[in-house]
Amino acid sequence: MEPVQDLTIKNNTEAQRFEAELDGERAVTDYYLNNNIIILRHTEVSPALEGRGVARKLVQTALDEAREKGYQVMPLCPYVAGFIRKHPEYQDLVMARFKYMVI
């Protein structure tokens, strides 16, 4: 499958999730915000969008926004933890007691 080039990702603060939609298919990264901590709970991509870099872009957007807003990250979603392991430039965002999940 072709990687997605122009994907718009929206932070739906009411639903507490980052959303992407392409060709009528949806992908989301759910979170819970508690003061300055963002708990990234679950990432789900429609099977029709799998393998096209959609989850990567969702998580990257969530982490970039966390950095921008000064949030600490609790990476409970296995995909998010794996992404941070592969991209150590985001490890500084992870709360100290959850660092073991990303190294």
Go through the domains of the chain in sequence order and give each one's CATH number: 9-101 (3.40.630.30)
Res 1: pLDDT: 61
Distance CA 98, CA 17 (A): 21
Strands 25-34 and 17-22: antiparallel
Res 101: pLDDT: 92
Q: In this structure, are residues 38 and 27 in contact, taking their beta carbons and an 8 Å threshold?
A: no
Six token digits for residue 64 = 């970039």
Percent of the chain whose pLDDT exceeds 90: 86
Q: pLDDT by residue (tens digit) across 53-84? A: 999 999 999 999 999 999 999 999 999 999 99
